[in-house]
Amino acid sequence: MTPKTNCNNTKKFSFDASLTIPSHIREIENVRIRLVSLLDKLSYPAKVKMQIFLALDEAMANAIEHGNPMGNPSIEFSYSITEQMCLLQVVDFGGHTFNPEYFEKLATVKDWGMGGRGIFLIKKLMDEVYYFFNPGKSTTLVMIKYPTPDSPPSTFGKTG
């Protein structure tokens, strides 16, 4: 008999929507508008919505600023939002591997310039944060926020 483990409960994840958007700061607002109505419909608390948007702003700004090599001026944004959780994914095609922990620590001591606080804020505001680096090709950032402090569901992902 197969033992009951978290791995056994893991299913392939399919996003509700996936968009390829031009790598430009003005696109952040368009993505925001798309999400606002969804989160409102699902009655996400105002504070949680604000946290999600702030983290999303930082994630997209980082992807646009640092993950934008010549020849591929676009990023990929995917999302799945339910009453239980909001899962956002930002993919850039810079292919740079970096150490998020370094930037997080830097943000706590840095008192010069404006940049450097994005990763720190994302970690602070979201419940789960993962980076998948594919060197030379892409960097995927996954952020998850639960609207209530309850633990995540027992089955992760959904077959699609």
Q: Name the residues that contact other proteins, by CB under 8 A.
A: 5-15, 87, 89, 97, 99-102, 123, 126-135, 140, 142, 144, 151-154, 156-157
Q: Closest CB to other proteins among 68 and 139?
A: 139
CA distances from 153 to 52, 83, 91, 113, 146 (A): 19, 11, 25, 41, 10
Distance CA 99, CA 105 (A): 10
What is the separation of C-alpha 28 from the centre of its chain, rounded to a whole number of angstroms? Answer: 13
Least CB distance from residue 29 to other proteins, whole Å?
26
Supply the Cα-derived Rg of the chain in whole angstroms.
16
Least CB distance from residue 28 to other proteins, whole Å?
21
Least CB distance from residue 120 to other proteins, whole Å?
11
Q: Closest CB to other proteins among 21 and 85?
A: 85
Q: Closest CB to other proteins among 83 and 101?
A: 101
Least CB distance from residue 99 to other proteins, whole Å?
7
Handedness of CA 58, 89, 70, 28 (dihedral sign): negative
Contact between 90 and 74 under an 8 Å Cβ cutoff? The reply is no
Q: Closest CB to other proteins among 11 and 24?
A: 11
